[in-house]
Amino acid sequence: MVKTILDELIETDEFLLAGNTACPGCGSILALRYVLKALGKNTILVIPASCSSVYQAIYPKVSFKVITFNVAFASAAAVASGVKQALIKKGYDDVNVAVWGGDGGLIDIGAATVSGAAERNEDIFVFVYDNEAYMNTGIQRSGSTPPGARTTTTPLGKIVGFKKPMSFLMLLHGVPYVATASIAYPTDLYEKVKRAREIKGFKFIHILSPCPPGWRFDDSKTIEVARLAVETGYWILWEGGYRNGKINLNLSPPSRPYKDPSKRKSLEEFLKYQGRFKGFDEHSLKKLRDWIDYQWSFIDNFTRDHA
Amino acid sequence: MGIYDVITGNDAVAWGARLSRVEVIAAYPITPQTTIVEKLAEWVDKGEINARYIAVESEHSAMSAAMGASAAGARAFTATSSQGFLYMFEMISWAAGARTPIVMAVVNRALGPPWNIWSEHTDALMARDTGWIQFWASNNQEALDSIIQAYRVAEDKRVILPAMVMLGGFVLSHTAMPVKIHDQNKVDQYLPPYNPPHYVLNPKLSEPFAYGNILFPWDYVKVRLSIQKAMENSIDVIKRAAREFEEIFGIWHGDLIKEAYTDNAEMLIFALGAVAEQAEATAESLRKNGYKVGVVKVRITRPFPKQEIAKLANKVSHIIVIDRDISFGWDGILAGEIKATLHEYKVDTPVTTKIMGIGGDDILPSHIEKAVKEIYSK
Amino acid sequence: MSGNTNNHLILPISKPTKGAGGKTGSWRVFRPVIIEKKCIKCMMCWMYCPEAAIEVHSRSEVPKINYDYCKGCLVCKEVCPVNAIVSERESE
């Protein structure tokens, strides 16, 4: 029998253990499940304040089967830098050091820290599971909350602000590996992490992780929502980086059809499941479409000039 | 053999770090600490020290990186002052809770606004509640030696807490003094390599575990109060480290405190760091003029040398505490702690707080003499 | 040092454990049930279970739901391409 990626996945260990304290249907732990399968046991996770600090469960037990270091909110990428440098000094430079955190800790409060680590090209992974708000503290808006979304600090919908394009920012730092992913395409995520593992230097992977309580949809719809995000062009799957004197950005197979706007499902398909977009007005809808256009425009320009 | 050189306090600190064979340096500049990280950078680039040098983008990240490096089993070093110290404050606290025996040099500098780059002790004193061991250097030799002693104490398996070594901004950091730069072999004899006895972030050396995930209050109490127990243990460890340092290097800076002219003193002056040396020089001349004044250099503020201070206070009729700091709405910080100590030990010697040298304002012998004479005249 | 010589070093260190959050199966309102004869062994339910509460050892077996830990999110039911998973209300 030909060994497929599914066989490979079934054979690899589960490092994310069942019986954790994540919400039912959580997008983030599904993402972590695949990230850890790809990284393996030779891994240290550095985790800032986030849902992942909490879904590890409670002392003296933990739901992750890799070494995990819990750290203060903004500090993760710097702590990871220190860990990696120490391991290099001690002769263990093949250990995977990975930051695993949310959009709050890595796109807002930790943005400077992540940027600094990227600028130094630290040989670490930074994984952002983006559930588009500060979910752990009860759904407050972050810089990654999309325009128009309701959160407890934007009860009428996010009017001030855009969605910070963190993965584009990371690409522009000139780091060797940047990618986006979605939990609806776990094999895509798994293979991206495996490819990233081969690269020395700063690796940034931004994973859209729908959140049932935060986005207000039924627990069972997590994958459906994550898939629609891609199919409507809202979330773009790509992979790129600056290597060998060239900066590149390539659309991943699931997103390629949606380069053509006419192939995209209507945005309402994505919005309809989510209570956070209820009562979405025209102004907000326009801003959201603007943000989608902005992303595709960046990708078009980038791939044209830097093909 | 060791060499003598005339070097600034910052260079002395850099030598202390070098001789301690630090393995990871997290560096961020801030006046008046900057020449420490510059010196270390020079040596790293020349290959004179074999350390990883992380030029981080903020002090908060400097402490974060030092903590990560220490948790992964490396001997880590960083340095800061004033605003930078405050910026990294949550990580200072985190590093103690993570039981990472980092050593950090703090070059004391006043806080803004308004901007001020000169010496004041309030910055480091603000961290007295964090679980860090606190050393105060009164001259450049002590600055160098305290870095080495700090690693020895911090990494002791009965302690395992980070330690900070303070030196006055410009007063010591940028003032050149004769310093003995010890022989590396002697330092190696005194300070073995760091070998974490408690945990290490390395999957090649350890089964998987998580550090610091959520726990219930009844467990937190045990974990956190073990830091207090470590502090209590550190008292003997500090004393022993100072004694053994004297045996190997022939230099005594005091252990928790250092006394000068305390024999048959009627009055004692307590102070930190370079201020204590200033007081000592003043006491010498006061003694010649018949004032029976002694000086106690409080070398360690955490763990606070309660017993030692109470014992000395008991023998005199008055105490002056010179505080180059202030806790607004309270008192000079050192004075406040001494007063509390005397109360605890039922010593009723009166204590006068003298707030001096705020913002780097001069502390002259005449100021100290005036304070002493004022008390005598009453 | 008297007594427990390590009481200065009580660390918040946790060990990896399945069910670290308890028997999270008790969270369920509805339980997913795989209808074995309908199952085509595509492994989608196993792949998409956020909990890794569905266990499988090879592609030739029907996946098994670990009811000790299954939280009843029903993502598996949604992703099954042949509707081989139904939901049943938990009794009591």
Task: Of C47, C55, C73, C48, give the one whose Cα is nearest residue C18.
Answer: C55
Tokens, residue A250: 């390539």
Q: State chain A's mean pLDDT as an integer.
A: 95
Q: Are B107 and B127 in the same domain?
A: yes
How far separated are the first and last CA of chain A, in Å rounded? 39
From chain A, the residues in CB contact with B211 under 8 A are 68-70
Q: Quick one: pLDDT at residue C5? A: 57
Q: What is the percent of chain A with per-residue pLDDT over 70, rounded to a whole number? A: 99
Tokens, residue A74: 């903004």
What is the distance between the alpha carbons of residues C42 and B89, in angstroms, rounded to a whole number?
A: 53
**Nearest 10 degrees: Cα torsion B61, B67, B68, B71:** 180
**Class assignment of domain A23-305?**
alpha beta
Residues A71-94 have a mean pLDDT of 98
Q: Quick one: pLDDT at residue C2? A: 40
**φ/ψ (deg, to 5) at B111:** -95, 155
Task: Of A42, A41, A46, A129, give the one whose Cα is nearest residue A81.
Answer: A46
Q: Are B163 and B53 in the same domain?
A: yes
What is the distance between the alpha carbons of residues A153 and A204, in angstroms, rounded to a whole number?
A: 28
What is the distance between the alpha carbons of residues B134 and B131, in angstroms, rounded to a whole number?
A: 9
Q: Which of A58, A66, A90 to mutate to test the interface with B (most CBs of B within 10 A)?
A: A90
How many angstroms separate the CA of residue B218 from the nearest CA in chain C?
12
Q: Are B313 and B209 in the same domain?
A: no
Domain limits of chain A?
Answer: 23-305
Task: Of B113, B110, B111, B80, give the one whose Cα is nearest residue B171.
Answer: B110
Rg (CA), chain B: 20
For chain A, where are the E strands, in sequence order?
Answer: 43-47, 61-62, 67-70, 96-102, 125-130, 177-182, 203-208, 238-243, 246-251
Tokens, residue B28: 């961020």
Q: Are B332 and B274 in the same domain?
A: yes
15-54 of C, contacting B, C-beta below 8 A:
15-16
If one counts every other C-beta atom within 10 angstroms of the C-beta of residue B286, the result is 24
Residue B27: CATH number of its domain: 3.40.50.970
Q: Quick one: pLDDT at residue C92? A: 62
Q: Are B277 and B191 in the same domain?
A: no
Residue B341: CATH number of its domain: 3.40.50.920
- Name the burial class of residue B242, with classes exposed (0-12), middle (13-18) and buried (19+) by CB atoms within 10 angstroms of its CB: buried
- The total number of structural domains that make up chain B: 2
Domain boundary among B249, B270, B297: B249
Coil/strand/helix, residue A205: strand
In angstroms, the Cα distances linking B210 to A60, B205, C52 are 9, 14, 19
Q: What interhelical angle do A76-89 and B59-71 show, nearest 10?
A: 40
| Per-residue confidence band for A142, with pLDDT thresholds at 50, 70 and 90 | very high
Task: Of B280, B305, B342, give the one whose Cα is nearest residue B128.
Answer: B305
Task: Of A113, A134, A132, A108, give the one whose Cα is nearest residue A124.
Answer: A113
Total-model pTM: 0.96
Give average pLDDT by consecutive 10-residue segment, chain C, 92 residues. 68 97 95 96 96 92 96 97 96 72
Q: Are B319 and B245 in the same domain?
A: no
Domain boundary among B227, B249, B271: B249
Tokens, residue B49: 């020290």
From chain C, the residues in CB contact with A30 under 8 A are 48-50
Q: Name A147's Cβ contacts closer than 8 Å, sequence gap at least 6.
A: A157, A158, A159, A161, A162, A163, A284, A287, A288, A290, A291
Q: Are B314 and B238 in the same domain?
A: no
The residue type found at A84 is K
Whether B208 and B42 have beta carbons less than 8 Å apart is answered as no
The ipTM of this complex is 0.96
Domain boundary among B249, B273, B302: B249
Q: Are B209 and B71 in the same domain?
A: yes
Coil/strand/helix, residue B375: helix
Whether B270 and B257 have beta carbons less than 8 Å apart is answered as no
Residues of B with CB under 8 A from a CB of A: 23-24, 26, 51-52, 54-58, 60-62, 64-74, 76, 90-91, 94, 201-204, 206, 208-216, 219
Coil/strand/helix, residue A141: coil
In angstroms, the Cα distances linking A16 to A19, A62, B207, C16 are 9, 10, 15, 9
Q: Which of A223, A224, A225, A228 to mutate to test the interface with C (most CBs of C within 10 A)?
A: A223
Helix spans in B20-112 (H): 34-46, 59-71, 82-87, 89-97
From chain A, the residues in CB contact with B193 under 8 A are none
Does residue C91 sit at the B interface (CB-CB below 8 Å)? no
Secondary structure element (H or E) that encloses residue B300, with its range:
strand B300-302
What is the distance between the alpha carbons of residues A239 and A191, in angstroms, rounded to a whole number?
A: 11
Domain encompassing residue B53: 3-249
Whether A267 and A289 have beta carbons less than 8 Å apart is answered as yes
Whether A37 and C83 have beta carbons less than 8 Å apart is answered as no
Q: Domains of chain C by range and CATH?
A: 24-89 (3.30.70.20)
**Between A9, A61, A223, which is nearest C20 by CB?**
A61
The residue type found at A272 is K
What is the distance between the alpha carbons of residues B292 and B261, in angstroms, rounded to a whole number?
A: 8
Task: Of A124, A129, A206, give the one whose Cα is nearest residue A170.
Answer: A206
How many angstroms separate the CA of residue C1 from the nearest CA in chain B?
8
Instruction: With a cut of 70, list the residues of chain B below it in pLDDT.
Output: 1
Question: ω into residue B114 within 30 of 0, thus cis?
Answer: yes
**Between A9, A19, A219, which is nearest C21 by CB?**
A19
Q: Are B42 and B184 in the same domain?
A: yes
Secondary structure element (H or E) that encloses residue B236, with its range:
helix B217-249
Nearest-by-CA chain C residue for B233:
C8
**Between A10, A33, A222, which is nearest C56 by CB?**
A10
Q: Are B215 and B262 in the same domain?
A: no
Q: Quick one: pLDDT at residue A307? A: 46
**φ/ψ (deg, to 5) at A198:** -80, -10
B165 forms beta bridges with B105, B135
Coil/strand/helix, residue A236: coil
